[in-house]
Amino acid sequence: MRKHLRKYLPNHQAIRENRWLAPFGDTLLHPRLWHLNRHSAAGAVAAGLFCGLIPGPFQMIGAAICAVLFRVNLPLALFTTLYTNPLTIVPLYVVAFALGKLALGGGGEFVMPPDYGPEGLWAWAQALIHWMLSLGKPLLVGLILLASLLSLAGYAAMRLLWRLYLVRAWKRRRHGPAA
């Protein structure tokens, strides 16, 4: 598994020569950020899944910070954040809102955002702000819960998959090339 993933990882020299990453060279070149084993891979997947629900372009920044703090594989943490995209983000946020409502014990349904009406841009913007504030607490709690659940599930799944891969490799090695 490690050989397959290494094909896509940048080398240390590429990071050292990159003008944007050069100031962070010492931190980003820490060996544990690039080492790939079952611990660093599982931690990277967990960090990427957790930070994937952060809005906008801050997902990868959050994943990079988590990778540096927890010393897990940096490229895998960044790559894992890509599970959120324009097709998946709305359903994930609806699930997060439902989880938040459930956790807070509140009833009610998810209300669609207001349509742009004849009142004009200013009235629509005010209605949109009011709509977002009404989602606030349930959405925030739900995002934290969903990110935590996805993170735990991703960590466990990665550890299990890596273990299954190792057991299969051990059996293949034990039985020789004929198997």
pLDDT value at 6 more than 80:
no
Instruction: Grade residue 23 by pLDDT with cuts at 50, 70 and 90.
Output: low
CA distance linking residue 162 with residue 21, whole number of Å = 31
Instruction: Grade residue 89 by pLDDT with cuts at 50, 70 and 90.
Output: confident
3-state secondary structure the chain: CHHHHHCCCCCHHHHHHCCCCHHHHHHHCCHHHCCCCHHHHHHHHHHHHHHCCCCCCHHHHHHHHHHHHHCCCHHHHHHHHHHCCCCCHHHHHHHHHHHHHHHHCCCCCCCCCCCCCCCCHHHHHHHHHHHHHHHHHHHHHHHHHHHHHHHHHHHHHHHHHHHHHHHHHHHHHHHCCCC
Q: What is the pLDDT averaged over residues 98-108?
A: 83
Cα angle 146-81-64, degrees, rounded to a multiple of 5: 110
CA distance linking residue 11 with residue 16, whole number of Å = 9
CA distance linking residue 53 with residue 58, whole number of Å = 9
Q: What is the pLDDT averaged over residues 103-113?
A: 71
Higher pLDDT among residues 105 and 155, named by residue: 155
What is the pLDDT, as a whole number, of residue 56?
Answer: 73
Instruction: Grade residue 31 by pLDDT with cuts at 50, 70 and 90.
Output: low
Sign of the alpha-carbon dihedral angle for 112, 113, 119, 123: positive
Structural tokens at position 5: 């993933």
Residue 56 class from Cβ within 10 Å (0-12 exposed, 13-18 middle, 19+ buried)?
exposed
CA distance linking residue 13 with residue 10, whole number of Å = 8
Q: What is the pLDDT of residues 39-73, one digit of tens each?
A: 999 999 999 999 999 877 789 999 999 999 999 99
What is the pLDDT, as a whole number, of residue 129?
Answer: 75
